[in-house]
Structures are given as structure tokens and as C-alpha cells.
Structure 1
Amino acid sequence: MSDADPDDATTDRAAGALLGLACGDALGRPVEFETPASIQAEHGRVTEMLGHGTHGQPAGTVTDDTEMALCIARSLVARDGFDPDDVAERFVAWLDAGPFDVGLMTRDAIDELRDGTPPGEAGQAVWERRSEGSNAGNGSLMRCAPHALAYHLDGRLVEVSRESSAITHADPRCAWGCAALNIVLSGLVAGDDPALAANGVVLSINEGDAVREVVAGIKRAVEGDGGPDPEDLSASGYVLDTLETGLYHGLTAPDAETAIVRAVNMGDDADTVGAVTGAVAGARFGASALPERWLEAIDEADELRSLAGELLALEPARP
């Protein structure tokens, strides 16, 4: 192994980011759209992979969160970096295969791509047609983690994260939300402590006040100086709610399992909040800290682990 090669701990944290995403996604899928009270009444506390429930799938089944992250990860490896045209083609093929779960903005943008709209314009076209309150969902945030691995040592991480988001979600809150999450993930994979990883966002983004405010709140919580009250966190599909809640649970929980369980049992958009939390907690604690019983239930686990290593070893080509 050369001096530039990642060490075992870094590789474990990189795999944790993708596997944690899948764990949170699959654990949350059966209770998506439920309330904490209905989850408590039916399941007590969700700590195991459940079958049936929302979308009626077998235990361990992932949703569009993981499937679209896989599209991006496969593209990054195949194209030696971010190629929006290739990502767009993979998104179209994925949707044409008939996934059981797909967000409204995502579907509309992929329809634009299928009709020939360039990747840099598809998400913008959809965004401009939608009114405030339905135009800043978490559908790009849920899938963006592979970029944090491929560009973990590359100054283009912010640019790539924003451009990738805009393929389907062009709202600045979505684009900067992806950049913010990926900066945190990149720092955690590198071995930074949670406070330092969160502070990297404040130092790295030059616009997007809403995102800076959210992550500054997370930084305060990690440092023990106030921060959000857990009772005030939201598991809605609004991108900044998902970002704040995922970062809070992922950066403050004592271990990866606790982080993901806390997020999923909030209900509402449980799979995506679980996926974002899982990516953060997995990058923080490593794949080796994720429950083996969860990983054994996820069919995509081996590929995600392999892709994480390949992404970490990439030296993305310049355009």
C-alpha cells in the first residue's frame, strides 16, 4: 500500500457511510409516513428489519434512497468521476425498471431527462413549475453520499454535490444541503471529530444562509453549547429538516445503531431521515460498528462495501 492509499480505518468509515445509508433506509422503510405514536403502538420501538409495512416489501428491502445512491456510485466508478450525462442515463434506466418508491420531483425531473432535457436543466425546469412548499424536498440529499467518498480529497466536492443535486432538485436549499452533508461526511471519513466535521461546512460554503444556520446549530450541539432541542426536530420531507435531523442524530448519538434507531422511530419520512442519519453515523463510527444482523438482511450490502472502497481510491478526472 502506498502512502496515498487509505488506511483500514478510513476504508471502514467510507464503507460505513454507504452501508449506514442503506441500513437507515431499510430500517425506516416499513414505518414511512407513520407517526411516533402509531409506531409505538404497533412495534414498540423499531430496532430490527421489518417486513411488509409501508410499500409491502420483505425485511431489509431498500428504497429509492439507496437505489439512486447506487446509480451515482456506479457512475462515479465507471466514469472516473462525476459525469452528469451518465448519471442521468442511469436515473432514466432505474425509473424505467419500475421502482416501488420514487419522489414526485424526482419522477418529474427524470421524465424531463427522458424527453431530452439536459441534466443541468431538468431539475431547474421542475423547480420553476412548483410552488414554495413543494419545491425543496430531500430527494437529492438522500442519495448524495457517494460524492463525499469520490471527492474526499478534492476541492470540487462542493461544486459536484450541487451539480448532482440539480439534476432533479435545483432549489438552492437542496443543492447547498447536499454540499453541506457531503462536507461533513468527507470530514468524518477522514477521521475528524464531529465538531470539526460540522465546522467544515461553515468554513467551506460561501452562500446559502439557511444551510449555514442549520449546521452551526449542529456544531453547537456537538460542543455542548445549546443547539436544537430533540423535541423540536422534524422528520418531514423538507430538505433542511432532513439535513438538521440527520446530522443531529448522526453526530450526537453514542453509537451508530442508536443514531439510526432514534431517527427511524420519528416516523414521517423515516426511510430518508434514517438514510441520512445512517450515512453520517456510519461515516463517524465505521461499517464495523453497524449491526451485522442489519447488514445480513440487505441484499446490496456487499456491492455497497465494494463500491465504497473503489470510490475512496478514485482520483477523479478533470473535465
Structure 2
Amino acid sequence: MSFTLFPDTRAALATDSLAGLSVGDARGAGHGPPWRWTDDTEQACCLVKALTDDDGLDRDHFADLLGRHFDASRGYGSGAVVMLRQIREGTPWPIAAAAAFDGQGSAGNGAAMRAAPLGAWHADSLVHAATEGARAAEVTHAHPEGIAGAVAVTVAAAVAAAARLEGQPVDLLGAVLAHTPHSRVRDSLGRATTIRTAAEAAHELGNGTRSLALDSVPFALWVAAHHLDDYPGAVQACIAAGGDMDTTAAMAGGVVAAYTGADGVPGEWLRAREPLPDWVTG
């Protein structure tokens, strides 16, 4: 990238991405207005709060925020509830994350669904975005596939935000492939480059039904790549595919809003979304 970002600009880019993520999440969750957001948004708020408090990612602070603010009624999986309660009660996050799923670590999509604002924050360096995407994922996801999914979404949002700032066309999936570690997630992203329709993408890549990074990240990024200037179209494509609609719409929405800015999110959708918590907006 050929530009340098100042802290206020980083925060503004991350906030725009958070708006897109949270509206996609809340609309995808399918509740009537006000649209209630889920754990996707709650975790993304913790990530944005950690970034803005420290002008970068302090993982101990991020873990503390996750443990302090998690609300099990927001739709967390049972494994995440156990882990975050452990962190809240004082277990160091590396131990809690490594112990998940009988010591395999989580391969789920939790780290990916919160990651887009982190990518927007690092729009000036895809290498740094990938590194920080992995570091942020490791707070809760010790499995390589969970980490790879988070890196992919982080890089995608960084690419999108950079394209917005530079006014240049972008090969989003190509850039993501170049920075995602070797994994089944990366293999699936490679297949995504040959797919033409959303229905084919959902069929071939998955729509999040298994709540894994593997079956949600490639589809969400296919949607983002094909609707990069059309936020409503991206969210509606995720909803039409079914499955874990709030999560795929959160990922795609966070990436697309990094490109369009919050102005790309329909105002009536923003007003219909439940307000974000005071501790992140204040």
C-alpha cells in the first residue's frame, strides 16, 4: 500500500466496518425490528474497543473484554460459553483456547465473524493485517482452520478499505489467497474463484450450517467479492443462501462496508438495528 493511516482514520475505517458487520448480523438473525444483534457483533465490539483503547491489539485486554462482556443469550455456541466463562473467571486465554474441543482448539467461525473491523484498521498493510488477524484469532481459536478463516476475513477487509482509499479496482479473492495460510479454508477460497453464482457458491462452499470457518468464510468472501459496491445485495445474498445467515452476513457485511463506508448501509437498516452497546460507542 502507498499510504499511511493516522489513528483517527484507522478508527473511522474500523467503525464503518463494524456498522456493516452489525447490521448484516442483526438482519441475518431474522428478528423483527428492532433487529437484535448476536455474538458476532458483541465480539466485534470487543475487538474494536481493544483497538481504540490501545491504538492496536493488546490480546490480554481483548480477552478481558470478551470475558467481561459476553452474554450467552446472544447465541454463543456451548464451547464458546465454557471458554469465555473460564476467561472471565481468570483462566489465561492461551490455556482456555488450547483446551477447547478436547485440546484440538476451535475450528469454528467465531474468530472470522468478528474480524472485519481489524482488517479495516490495517488497510495500509496486508501483511500486517494477516499477522494481526492470526493474533486476534488465537485468543479464542487454537485450531489452524479457525485461525485461517479469521486471517482471510481480516485481509479481505483490509483489501476493501485500501481500495476505497486508493480508488483502485481490486481482486479481493486473489489478495486473500495470497495471504491466507495453507489450510482447507484456503483450498476452498481457491475453488471460490471459479464460481459464478451465489447458489453455486452456497452449494459448493457451504453456507455456515456447521458453524465452521471452512463452511462459512469462503462463501461469505465470495459474496463480498461479487457485491463489493452493493451492501444490500451482499446481505440479501447471504440470507437467500440460508444456513448461518447472521454469521455469513456479518462477515460479508463487514468487508463490504469497509469498501463502501457506513454510507453504503441503508439508513433504514441502521435505524432498525438494535443500538450498539454504550461501552463501544461512547
TM-score band (shorter)? Answer: 0.7 to 0.9
Aligned equivalents of 1:266 and 1:228: distance in 2? 7
Q: CA deviation at 1:306?
A: 6.8
**Equivalent residue, structure 2, for 1:178:** 150
Partner of 1:139: 110
Per the alignment, residue 224 of structure 2 pairs with: 250
1:85 & 1:182 partners in 2: Cα distance?
20
1:149: how far off? Answer: 2.5
Does structure 2 retain, via aligned residues, the 8 Å contact 1:263–1:270?
A: yes
What letter matches 2:175 in structure 1?
Answer: G
Secondary structure of the residue aligned to 1:152 is coil
| Structure-1 residue corresponding to 2:184 | 210
How high is the TM-score relative to the length of structure 1? 0.74
Work out which structure has the larger RCO, using CA pairs closer than 8 Å and 6 or more positions apart in sequence.
1
Q: Percent identity?
A: 25
Q: After superposition, what is the alpha-carbon deviation per residue over 1:139-193, rounded to whole angstroms, capped at 9, x for unaligned?
A: 1111112221233324432222112212222110110111111111101100153
CA deviations 1:270-311 (Å, max 9, x no partner) are 11111112112222333212111101122436989979xxxx
Distance 1:121 1:61, change over 3 A: same
Q: Secondary structure at 1:268's aligned position in 2?
A: coil
The total of aligned residue pairs comes to 269
Residue of 169, 176, 196 corresponding to 1:193: 169
Aligned residue in 2 for 1:150? 121
Aligned to 2:141: 169
Is 2:115 aligned against 1:118?
no
Bigger CA radius of gyration = 1
Preserved contact between residue 141 and residue 239 of structure 1 (Cα < 8 Å): yes
**Against the structure 1 CA distance between its residues 301 and 141, is the aligned structure 2 distance closer, same or farther, given a 3 Å change threshold?**
same
Which secondary structure does the structure 1 equivalent of 2:23 belong to?
helix
The residue that corresponds to 1:287 in the other structure is 262
Question: Aligned equivalents of 2:10 and 2:92: distance in 1?
Answer: 36
Q: Which amino acid aligns with 1:190?
A: A
**2:253 pairs with one of 278, 284, 288:** 278
Tell me what 1:239 maps to.
Answer: 213
Aligned to 2:59: 84
What amino acid does structure 1 have at the position aligned with 2:241?
A: M
* Residues in 1 aligned to 2:146 and 2:10: alpha-carbon distance in whole angstroms: 28
Residue 73 of structure 1: CA displacement? Answer: 0.5
CA separation in 1, counterparts of 2:11 and 2:89? Answer: 39
1:184-211 CA distances to partner (integer Å, 9 max, x unpaired)? 110110015342x322223224x32323
Cα gap change, 1:139 to 1:124, in 2 (>3 Å): same
Which amino acid letter does the alignment assign opposite residue 77 of structure 2?
G
2:131 equivalent in structure 1: 159
Q: Contact 1:127–1:171 (CA<8 Å) still a contact in 2?
A: no
Relative to 1, partners in 2 of residues 1:116 and 1:176: Cα closer, same or farther, differing over 3 Å? same
